[in-house]
Amino acid sequence: MQVLDFIVRTNEALNDQNHLLKVAPADGVTLPEMFPGQFVQILVDQSSHVFLRRPISINFVDPEKNEIWLLIQKVGEGSQKICSVHVGGIINLIFPLGNSFTLPEKKGKFLLVGGGVGTAPLLFLGKKMKDNDLDPEFLLGGRSGKDILQRTDFERYGTLYCTTEDGSMGEKGFVTHHSVLNEKKYDFIYACGPKPMMVTVAGYARDHGVGCEVSLENLMACGFGACLCCVEKTVRGNICTCTEGPVFNITELFW
Amino acid sequence: MAGLEVHIGNLKLKNPVMTASGTFGYGTEYADFIDLERLGGIFVKGTTLTPRQGNDYPRMAETPSGMLNAVGLQNKGVDYFVEHLYPVIRNYDTYMIVNVSGSTIEDYVACAEKLADLDKMPAIELNISCPNVKEGGMAFGTSCQSAAQVTREVRKVFPKTLIVKLSPNVTDISEIARSVEAEGADAVSLVNTFLGMAIDVETRKPKLSTITGGLSGPCIKPIALRMVWEVFHAVKIPIIGMGGICNWKDAIEFILAGATAIQVGTYNFIDPAASVKIVEGINSYLDRNHITSVNDLIGKMIV
């Protein structure tokens, strides 16, 4: 873990709700190795209404350009402010934080399920799986086609299935209703997105005897295990999602 | 370089900057960010006689210039601390001080007794001010009688430096400070968090599982500062001041108001290196103003 200033190299609005920031260490230092599922804590502006840092998933790491990609949804004042940082501006990160998704040890059929901005860590995971000769498939959901973010990036690493609530792209409905879940038998599922989605995916995995990891987004203050605010009730008791997670095997959870 | 050493009971702190219990884990959580040995002391997570799971999630809500928490003293108990955590932290060249909490006086006493046996445990901070537990905690710190009673009983079994952490959720904090001083407390630390709450207007539900929680951060600083100043005029024992300290200026304010040392709390979450920056800032301030020792500033607000 370290605290470091990053320069914003690009800030692209992917739709009216989401921005993709590509950031690199301001002093040019080489990024340490990072793993899919890890996150950063972004210092915003310390104004009275945005006092705490904001935890954001690592969307992708580009070692050649020495860049971290951060996919940010404008949900409140803090995330709005992060999205409004200009190219060339500086943001301060504590990184890398948390554990990571477990890469499969042997080949098989793997499905990465994401909803909304919860798709963010799955791009980095898909890339790592592809690098390891494991063929990931992606199932991404959104309200409409414009909410399915980074489609061409995902398609680079594996087959992409989509659902939209308005039917404007892929199958109509929620990801958890997609036909691929009935047609194919997967060996492992990774999920990140709204909690109701993850709970349903976890239920599917349990019912079908499929292993499953989910990435939680509990509210947190510090991000490195000091405040004990972000706990999840697990078979090991109340444990911090920032240090013991954010990725949990569903066998540890009570949902 | 100015003299930064200050004394609290038998402790000779290398500088007046310490970190507040509940915001700094066991110190090791911050070892990637700072050299822990540059601090005057580290107050580790609130410890109870038996393990506690703490309160249900959600335990945190951001508020203007601060946050509410309702952690509820989650910890693995004093025996786990002694066996697994103490061996890791005992060799740091700074004071590691355990914050002791309990539901009954017997709990406090038993916990303090176990800690008294540890050779590298020079002090404890008696937490009679946690607002987030149903029984005990703050209940002991809101009346002079119960504050005095728990201090008296722990004093009997703990011969080393005894610091009592006071609650701000009282009518007159000076009275409480005087009552624990009378029972042999070596120092008081203040303030713990203020009882507060927040509501999500969309769901109309409380933002904390416990409805109320403890408010901390810069939003409480002016009130905490006023309380330190009041207590400074009420007791002779040293005061460890805290409440929203983010930088060296905040720290100097507390010292001028009467604090011998300070604790950095919530701001550690925003800048994990804040405490060490404050040590440097205090030193520069003293040099710049040709003040040879930080002790010359304690309670020296000019009115």
Q: Do A219 and B58 touch (CB under 8 A)?
A: yes
- pLDDT for residue A255: 87
Contact A191, A197 (CB under 8 A): yes
- Per the annotation, the verdict on B130 as an active-site residue is yes
Question: Which of A53, A224, A237 is facing B53, going by the closest CB pair?
Answer: A237
Residues A118 and A203 in one domain: yes
Residues 6+ apart with CB under 8 A from A176: A197, A200, A201, A204
Tell me, what amino acid is at A183?
A: E
Tell me, what amino acid is at A31?
A: L
Q: B220 in contact with A at a CB cutoff of 8 Å? A: no
CA–CA separation, B71 vs B22, rounded Å?
9
Helices and strands (DSSP H and E) totals, chain A: 5, 16
- pLDDT for residue B232: 98
Percent residues over pLDDT 70 in chain B: 100
Interface of A with B (CB under 8 A): 1-3, 43, 46, 48-49, 51-53, 94, 218-233, 237-238
Query: Binning pLDDT at 50, 70 and 90, where does residue B197 land?
Result: very high
Query: Binning pLDDT at 50, 70 and 90, where does residue A252 land?
Result: very high
Per-residue pLDDT reduced to its tens digit, B166-181: 999 999 999 999 999 9
When pLDDT is averaged across residues B25-33 and rounded to a whole number, the result is: 97
Residue A155 is assigned to a structural domain of this protein = yes
Of A97, A121, A143, the last residue of a domain is A97
Residue A124 is assigned to a structural domain of this protein = yes
Query: Binning pLDDT at 50, 70 and 90, where does residue B133 land?
Result: confident
Residue B47 is assigned to a structural domain of this protein = yes
Work out the angle between the directed axes of helices B274-288 and B248-257 (0-180°, nearest 10): 70
Please state the domain count of chain A: 2
When pLDDT is averaged across residues B97-126 and rounded to a whole number, the result is: 96
Residue B62 is assigned to a structural domain of this protein = no
Residue B261 is assigned to a structural domain of this protein = yes
Query: Binning pLDDT at 50, 70 and 90, where does residue B2 land?
Result: confident
Per the structure, the complete domain to which residue A82 belongs is given by 2-97
Please state the domain count of chain B: 1
The DSSP element (H or E) to which A8 belongs, if any, is: strand A2-13
The answer on pLDDT for A155 being more than 90 is yes
For residue B194 the two structure tokens come to: 């203020």
Residues A91 and A150 in one domain: no
Q: B36 in contact with A at a CB cutoff of 8 Å? A: no
User: Which residues on A lie below 8 Å from B60 (Cβ)?
Assistant: 219-221, 227, 229-230
For residue B226 the two structure tokens come to: 């006023």
User: Which residues on B lie below 8 Å from A220 (Cβ)?
Assistant: 60
Residues A142 and A173 in one domain: yes
- pLDDT for residue A192: 98
The answer on pLDDT for B54 being more than 80 is yes
Mean residue pLDDT of chain B comes to 96
Residue A192 is assigned to a structural domain of this protein = yes
CA–CA separation, B177 vs B164, rounded Å?
9
Residue B163 is assigned to a structural domain of this protein = yes
CATH label of the domain that carries residue B287: 3.20.20.70
- pLDDT for residue A111: 98
Instruction: Give the other-Cβ count within 10 Å of A13's Cβ.
Output: 11
Residues A211 and A121 in one domain: yes
Residue A222 is assigned to a structural domain of this protein = no
Of B104-108, B136-140, B258-262, give the lowest mean pLDDT range.
Answer: B136-140
CA–CA separation, B47 vs A236, rounded Å?
19
CATH label of the domain that carries residue A166: 3.40.50.80
For residue B143 the two structure tokens come to: 């009346």
Per the structure, the complete domain to which residue B48 belongs is given by 6-54+72-193+218-297
CATH label of the domain that carries residue A7: 2.40.30.10
The answer on pLDDT for B6 being more than 90 is yes
Percent residues over pLDDT 90 in chain B: 95
Query: Binning pLDDT at 50, 70 and 90, where does residue B1 land?
Result: confident
Query: Binning pLDDT at 50, 70 and 90, where does residue B137 land?
Result: confident
Residue A76 is assigned to a structural domain of this protein = yes
Cα separation values, B133 from A203, A234, B199, Å:
34, 21, 20
Query: Binning pLDDT at 50, 70 and 90, where does residue B60 land?
Result: very high
Residues A31 and A9 in one domain: yes
Mean residue pLDDT of chain A comes to 97
Query: Binning pLDDT at 50, 70 and 90, where does residue B131 land?
Result: confident
R_g of chain A computed on alpha carbons: 18
Of B136-145, B230-239, B277-286, give the lowest mean pLDDT range.
Answer: B136-145
- pLDDT for residue A94: 98
When pLDDT is averaged across residues A2-7 and rounded to a whole number, the result is: 98
Catalytic residue among B130, B144, B219, B246: B130
CA–CA separation, A22 vs B157, rounded Å?
58
For residue B124 the two structure tokens come to: 């404890």
Beta strand segments in chain B, E: 6-8, 11-13, 17-19, 41-47, 60-63, 66-69, 95-100, 123-127, 161-165, 187-190, 194-197, 199-200, 205-206, 212-216, 239-241, 261-264
Q: B190 in contact with A at a CB cutoff of 8 Å? A: no
Residue A190 is assigned to a structural domain of this protein = yes
Q: Do B271 and A52 touch (CB under 8 A)?
A: no
The minimum CA-CA distance between B5 and chain A, rounded to whole Å, is 27
Half-sphere exposure at residue A154, Cβ-oriented, CA atoms within 13 angstroms: 23
Which B-chain residues 44-73 have CB contacts (< 8 A) with chain A? Answer: 45, 53-54, 56-67, 69, 71
Instruction: Measure the N-to-C terminal CA separation of chain B; round to a whole number of Å.
Output: 28
Per-residue pLDDT reduced to its tens digit, A121-130: 999 999 999 9
Residue A68 is assigned to a structural domain of this protein = yes
